[in-house]
Amino acid sequence: MSETTADPAHEAIRREINDNDVVLFMKGTASMPQCGFSSRVAGVLNYMGVAYKDVNVLADEAVRNGIKSFSDWPTIPQLYVKGEFVGGCDIITEMTLSGELDALFAENGIAFDKDAAAKIREANA
């Protein structure tokens, strides 16, 4: 693909990431995840009260494949905060349990429930 030809899927992905502070590219939706990994990450964000945009990659094959090349990350879900790729399910789980996700949200001015985050860590200690 030449530099002058924009990939429509990448443009759509870039638009979502630029227009929303927190974006989760996932299988299914925040209210109805369609895989365990997407469910885990959406569950963490929902429990912590984070406002985020869910993008159902199952609804658009071009986005489903495009997000993998866009981030150079092979799996879904993928979390973006303030335009930056954070990671997939394993990374988000580790960051949640270590408190790094709290710090990332705080640094970027993303509202979240600190008590809920602490409860997740207590339950998994």
One-letter amino acid of 71? S
How far, CA to CA in Å, does 106 sit from each of 9, 64, 82, 84, 97?
30, 29, 12, 15, 16
Alpha-helical (H) ranges within 6-123 are 8-19, 36-47, 61-71, 89-98, 100-107, 114-123
Has 35 been labeled as part of a binding site?
yes
Q: What is the DSSP letter of 16?
A: H
- Binding site members for [2Fe-2S] cluster: 35
- Binding site members: 35
